[in-house]
Amino acid sequence: MGQFSAHAGKSELLRWLGGLQAPPKKTWLTHGEPAAAQALQAAIKEKFQWDVAVARYLDTVELA
């Protein structure tokens, strides 16, 4: 029996992000193993040239 996951993979996330009407001012990745989050960060930067960061444990961000 194959495994099932409710999580999207990198290609699905990139496709979903590509559907946004306008790019976000900043994109924060807050979930996943560090290596996977960094790989997604690099892919977003390469494909969209967005400002994207991987959040670290206990990071805080002020939203304006």
Cα–Cα distance measured from residue 64 to residue 41, given in angstroms and rounded to the nearest whole number: 23
pLDDT score at 63: 84
β-strand pairing of 52-54 with 27-29: parallel
CA 27 to chain centre: 7
pLDDT score at 26: 94
pLDDT along the chain (64 residues), means of 10: 67 94 94 91 97 94 86
pTM above 0.85, yes or no: no
The DSSP call for residue 58 is: T
pLDDT score at 9: 86
